[in-house]
């Protein structure tokens, strides 16, 4: 005898163990509704039509044998036959699920939702397959869902359409490619209160970085309106990162924000199934604002972390999650409307590293967000509609405004994917990751800049920005099992300036960051002279207009500098946390500062900027002291608000001890007092006087970092920017070896750490061996030289031990 609960279950009566009964999506919603509501994770109420009801309907209608005839041994590469048989299969299922008993169950449950939420309550009707949202296969986007469904008749209709969607073309192909039996997979349908995000915002959360697999961050994407546009890649969403380890310590700060264009807003429309939503252009003023407040970002991060912790505990191992969220405009409450295990990046081997690098250059045709870290070449095929897919050839580069789940059978044959719109959590990005092909999403003008038949190279190997180059650009692939690496006693650190490369670089064996270049962040992510932000009134009118255009949306021009610098430095510090990250204070020369927007107003012309107004001499000087205050404010925010106490501050080009004392006093005045909250301050050892007076400098600094480029220049008296005397610039000169020996001895004599962050150890193995032999504490090199330097130093230490 069957019970009513065999055919319909409310979320409060479901848990993860009920996947065979209600599918992955509904079981997950029930799990959260039951077990996480007490932790403040809000899930809309709803019910699930069970898989048993689906199977009984198929059996009682006699549709089973007909479905077997349509699908057994179906050649899924025959797109025409696939479409024909899939359509007939859907018709059979739709007809089978029209029984009166099913309608009565849906009607009774819908009336209970009306009792809770009001008459004619709008609901979301969503498919939930038994093979869906598994740790090994997501089935994302394979089956139908319907939003803003009202009234019993339309809810029943939507449920029948969901049941039938078990046999969409894309779902059939997905099951075949992933080894699932069509007839061992059942479909449940979930009906839940509609969250009115059409007048607010919604999006997707991953509890890891989707490109590198870095697990210590939560990535939140969001846009205005219903979330389908984010999932489908029709908009470029906002992105936010939150750092999990410091969040666990009580810090509630947004690590990084990236403003998206959010071109469209999906809102509700009056209509029946299939026409209950519509897109509207997002007003320009809203596009220029983030769709979430910092407080809302932190709330969503807390929900995501709680969900990940709960599912990981249930599984007995770490389970990164893929979560969908929506903000209700009526209540202002943030809801979780779906959660499933992330199934692509988290399954990569943690020890096997695969690194792609271009070995040539070419004209840039388009740029966007990089998906993955690979490089690929192929022939462009512009796809404007499904009709264009019929002529698509395997290995071609699929270029479109956005992609649809219906395209997946063809997308699986693409050599690379490029879209005009979309973020890193959109459909095109998810499919590309699953297939392991490079993709560039949100490239804006790809469909007009690229042309069918042209050969291009797609590179996702340079960080967050993906690039489409004209022609075939040569590249190399390096594969290393880092699990087999032996790390030397000497700490091998990395030099880094680009926050976009921080997460992936941190996954290479390292001892932290020996040199984080602030100049890169200022130049690439800010682009405006700090003094021009403090005193825009002094800047010529034309430049002032450009400055105010860039800082629009910030509370002040100064906040533009502080927040962007803090987020850049914070991202690097978070990537390597809790390992030390040494950030060098700005070390632009006057001619380089002058190239920043508004810079010519504040920078003098110098005959030899290399030896002029640079480094420590600027920080307390009236010409730059207000700009230095912004640098200090940013670093204070990283340490105090973000919780990155692994950040060490380093003073560059410090000529004399009194100058050092003046800089330290200025830092303390701005809240960066040496020793407070564990703050260490290092000095660049790049002037002979730093070596000669090592004892005196050691009295005011906590450590030394040898800058071999400037130290060689000043020891040998060679201008390294002069081509005519470049032949005399050599870090291997006997005098330089003596300088290095004296620097290391002087630091150790005073109980101070000493490392090197110049290029000499990477360029010359003999220098690396010498440094290891004299007992330097750390060697910091560029990421591309890291593994080679590890091998050289390990060998040098072994030879020293034998000797």
pLDDT at 4: 65
Residue 346 phi/psi, 5-degree rounding, is -70, -15
Indicate whether 464 pLDDT > 90: no
Domain 4-194 class in CATH: alpha beta
- pLDDT tens digits, 623-669: 999 999 999 999 999 999 999 999 999 999 999 999 999 999 999 99
Q: Give dist(CA 367, CA 236) in Å, integer.
A: 13
Indicate whether 680 pLDDT > 80: yes
Residue 96 CA: distances (Å) to CA of 60, 161, 355, 644, 660? 8, 11, 52, 59, 82
- Report the SS3 class of residue 376: strand
pLDDT at 174: 83
Helix/strand/coil percentages in the chain, nearest 5 = 45, 20, 35
Indicate whether 566 pLDDT > 50: yes
Question: In 3D, which of 415, 463, 462 has the Cα closest to residue 439?
Answer: 415
Task: Determine contact, residues 220/239, Cβ cutoff 8 Å.
Answer: yes
pLDDT at 572: 98
- Report the SS3 class of residue 54: helix
Residue 246 CA: distances (Å) to CA of 322, 554, 568? 21, 25, 16
Indicate whether 137 pLDDT > 60: no
Enzyme catalytic residues: 427, 757
pLDDT at 133: 46
**Crossing angle for the helix pair 657-669 and 625-636, to the nearest 10 degrees:** 60
Residue boundaries of the structural domains of the chain = 4-194, 198-347, 352-480, 485-802
- pLDDT tens digits, 326-361: 999 999 999 999 999 998 777 777 677 778 889 999
- pLDDT tens digits, 262-295: 999 999 887 667 677 899 999 999 999 999 999 9
Q: Give dist(CA 353, CA 384) in Å, integer.
A: 36
Scanning the structure block, which residue is given the tokens 């890169």?
520
**Crossing angle for the helix pair 19-35 and 51-61, to the nearest 10 degrees:** 160
Q: What mean pLDDT is predicted for residues 523-548?
A: 96
Query: What is the residue-averaged pLDDT of the chain?
Result: 92
- Quick count: other Cβ atoms within 10 Å of Cβ 65? 8
Residue 544 CA: distances (Å) to CA of 524, 534, 538? 19, 12, 9
pLDDT at 563: 98
Model confidence pTM above 0.85: yes
Task: Determine contact, residues 617/655, Cβ cutoff 8 Å.
Answer: yes
pLDDT at 1: 37
Query: What is the distance of C-alpha 32 from the center of its chain?
Result: 25
Q: 457: which residues sit within 8 A by CB, 6+ positions away?
A: 358, 362, 375, 376, 377, 468, 469, 470, 471, 472, 473, 475
Q: Give dist(CA 188, CA 157) in Å, integer.
A: 14
Q: Give dist(CA 708, CA 686) in Å, integer.
A: 7
Question: In 3D, which of 724, 493, 473, 684 has the Cα closest to residue 585?
Answer: 684
Q: Give dist(CA 200, CA 223) in Å, integer.
A: 9
Residue 148 phi/psi, 5-degree rounding, is 55, 50
Q: Give dist(CA 214, CA 216) in Å, integer.
A: 6
Domain at 352-480: CATH code: 3.50.30.10
Indicate whether 131 pLDDT > 80: no
For β-strands 364-371 and 439-441, DSSP reports them as antiparallel
**Crossing angle for the helix pair 557-576 and 541-550, to the nearest 10 degrees:** 50
Q: How confident is the model at residue 143 (pLDDT cuts 50, 70, 90)?
A: confident
Least confident window among 255-269, 429-443, 511-525, 682-696 = 429-443
Is CATH 3.40.50.920 the classification given to domain 485-802?
Answer: no
Task: Determine contact, residues 122/150, Cβ cutoff 8 Å.
Answer: yes
pLDDT at 134: 44
pLDDT at 2: 55
Top-ranked range on mean pLDDT: pick from 126-135, 677-686, 758-767: 677-686
Domain 198-347 class in CATH: alpha beta
pLDDT at 760: 84
Indicate whether 138 pLDDT > 50: no
For β-strands 364-371 and 256-258, DSSP reports them as unpaired
Using a 10 angstrom Cβ sphere, with 0-12 exposed, 13-18 middle and 19 or more buried, the burial of residue 261 is middle
Q: How confident is the model at residue 496 (pLDDT cuts 50, 70, 90)?
A: very high
Q: What mean pLDDT is predicted for residues 380-388?
A: 92
- pLDDT tens digits, 703-717: 999 999 899 999 999
Q: Give dist(CA 465, CA 137) in Å, integer.
A: 28
- Read off the tokens for 564: 């962007």
- Contacts of residues 655-663 at CB distance under 8 Å and 24 or more positions apart, as own/partner, are 655/616, 655/617, 655/687, 655/689, 656/689, 657/693, 657/696, 657/697, 657/699, 657/700, 659/616, 659/617, 660/616, 660/697, 660/700, 660/701, 661/700, 662/619, 662/620, 663/616, 663/619, 663/620
Q: 81: which residues sit within 8 A by CB, 6+ positions away?
A: 74, 75
| In the chain, % of residues over pLDDT 70 | 98
* Cα-Cα end-to-end distance for the chain: 84
- Report the SS3 class of residue 257: strand
pLDDT at 606: 93
Q: Give dist(CA 506, CA 331) in Å, integer.
A: 41
- Quick count: other Cβ atoms within 10 Å of Cβ 245? 14
- Read off the tokens for 60: 């009682």
Using a 10 angstrom Cβ sphere, with 0-12 exposed, 13-18 middle and 19 or more buried, the burial of residue 677 is exposed
Indicate whether 399 pLDDT > 80: yes
Q: Give dist(CA 631, CA 618) in Å, integer.
A: 12
Indicate whether 3 pLDDT > 70: no
Indicate whether 247 pLDDT > 90: yes
DSSP code at position 369: E
Indicate whether 44 pLDDT > 80: yes
* CA–CA–CA angle 355, 358, 361 (5° rounding): 165
Q: Give dist(CA 487, CA 786) in Å, integer.
A: 11
Burial track 320-352 (b if 16+ CB lie within 10 A, e otherwise): bbbbbbbbbeeeeebbbbbbbbbbbbbeeeeee
Q: What mean pLDDT is predicted for residues 451-465?
A: 92
Q: What mean pLDDT is predicted for residues 769-792?
A: 90
């Amino acid at each position: 005898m069957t019970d009513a609960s065999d055919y319909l279950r409310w979320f409060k009566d479901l848990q993860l163990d009920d996947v065979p009964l209600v599918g992955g999506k509904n079981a997950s919603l029930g799990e959260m509704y039951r077990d996480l509501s007490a932790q403040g994770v809000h899930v809309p109420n709803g019910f699930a039509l069970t898989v048993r009801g689906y199977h009984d309907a198929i059996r009682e209608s006699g549709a089973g044998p007909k479905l077997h005839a349509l699908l057994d041994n179906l050649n899924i590469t025959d797109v025409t036959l696939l479409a024909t048989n899939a359509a007939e299969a859907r018709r059979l299922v739709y007809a089978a699920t029209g029984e009166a008993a099913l309608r009565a169950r849906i009607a009774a449950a819908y009336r209970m939702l009306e009792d809770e939420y009001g008459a004619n309550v709008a609901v979301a009707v969503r498919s939930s397959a038994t093979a869906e949202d598994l740790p090994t296969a997501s089935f994302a986007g394979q089956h139908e869902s319907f939003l803003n469904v009202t009234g019993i008749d339309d809810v029943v209709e939507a449920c029948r359409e969901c049941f039938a969607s078990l046999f969409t073309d894309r779902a059939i192909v997905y099951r075949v490619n992933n080894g699932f039996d069509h007839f061992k997979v059942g479909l449940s349908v979930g009906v839940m209160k509609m969250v009115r995000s059409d007048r607010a915002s919604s999006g997707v959360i991953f509890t890891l970085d989707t490109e590198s697999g870095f697990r210590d961050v939560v990535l939140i994407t969001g846009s205005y309106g219903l979330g389908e546009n984010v999932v489908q890649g029709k908009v470029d969403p906002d992105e936010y990162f939150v750092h999990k380890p410091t969040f666990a310590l009580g810090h509630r700060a947004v690590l990084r924000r990236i403003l998206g264009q959010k071109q469209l807003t999906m809102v509700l429309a009056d209509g029946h199934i299939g026409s209950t939503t519509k897109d509207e252009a997002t007003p320009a003023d809203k596009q220029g604002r983030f769709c979430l407040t910092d407080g809302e970002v932190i709330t969503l991060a807390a929900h995501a972390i709680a969900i990940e912790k709960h599912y990981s505990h249930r599984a007995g191992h770490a389970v990164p999650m893929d979560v969908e969220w929506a903000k209700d405009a009526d209540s202002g409450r943030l809801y979780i409307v779906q959660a499933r295990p992330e199934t692509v990046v988290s399954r990569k081997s943690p020890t096997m590293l695969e690194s792609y690098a271009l070995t040539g250059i070419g004209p840039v045709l388009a740029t966007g967000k990089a998906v993955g870290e690979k490089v690929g070449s192929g022939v462009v095929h512009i796809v404007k509609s499904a009709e264009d897919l019929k002529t698509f050839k395997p290995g071609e580069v699929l270029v479109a405004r956005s992609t649809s789940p219906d395209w997946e059978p063809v997308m699986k044959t693409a050599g690379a994917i490029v879209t005009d719109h979309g973020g890193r959590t959109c459909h095109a990005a998810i499919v590309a990751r699953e297939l392991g092909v490079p993709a560039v999403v949100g490239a804006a003008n790809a469909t007009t800049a690229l042309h069918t038949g042209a050969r291009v190279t797609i590179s996702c190997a340079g960080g967050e920005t993906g690039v489409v180059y004209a022609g075939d650009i040569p590249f190399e692939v390096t594969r290393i099992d880092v699990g087999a690496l032996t790390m030397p006693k000497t700490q091998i650190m990395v030099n880094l300036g680009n926050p976009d490369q921080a997460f992936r670089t941190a996954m290479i064996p390292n001892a932290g960051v020996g040199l984080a270049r602030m100049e890169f962040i200022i130049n690439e992510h800010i682009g405006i002279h700090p003094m021009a932000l403090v005193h825009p009134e002094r800047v010529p009118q034309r430049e002032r207009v450009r400055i105010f255009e860039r800082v629009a949306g910030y509370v002040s021009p100064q906040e533009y500098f502080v927040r962007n610098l803090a987020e850049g430095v914070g991202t690097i510090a978070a990537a390597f946390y809790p390992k030390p990250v040494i950030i060098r204070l700005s070390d632009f020369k006057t001619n380089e500062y002058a190239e920043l927007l508004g810079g010519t107003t504040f920078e003098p012309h110098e005959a030899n900027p290399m030896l002029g107004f640079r480094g420590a001499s600027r920080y307390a000087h009236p010409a730059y002291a207000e700009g230095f205050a912004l640098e200090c404010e940013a670093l204070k925010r990283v340490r105090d608000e973000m919780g990155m106490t692994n950040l060490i501050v380093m003073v560059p080009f410090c000529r004399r001890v009194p100058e050092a004392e003046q800089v330290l006093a200025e830092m303390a005045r701005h809240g960066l007092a040496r020793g407070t909250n564990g703050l260490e301050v290092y000095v660049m050892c790049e002037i002979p006087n730093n070596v000669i007076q090592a004892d005196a400098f050691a009295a005011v600094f906590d450590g030394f970092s040898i800058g071999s480029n400037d130290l060689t220049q000043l020891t040998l008296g060679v201008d390294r920017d002069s081509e005519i005397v470049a032949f005399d610039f050599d870090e291997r000169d006997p005098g330089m070896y003596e300088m290095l020996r004296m620097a290391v001895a002087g630091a150790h004599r005073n109980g101070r750490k000493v490392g090197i962050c110049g290029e000499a150890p990477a360029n010359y193995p003999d220098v690396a061996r010498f440094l290891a032999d004299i007992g330097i504490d750390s060697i910091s090199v560029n990421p591309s030289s890291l593994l080679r330097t590890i091998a050289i130093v390990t060998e040098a230490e072994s030879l020293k031990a034998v000797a």
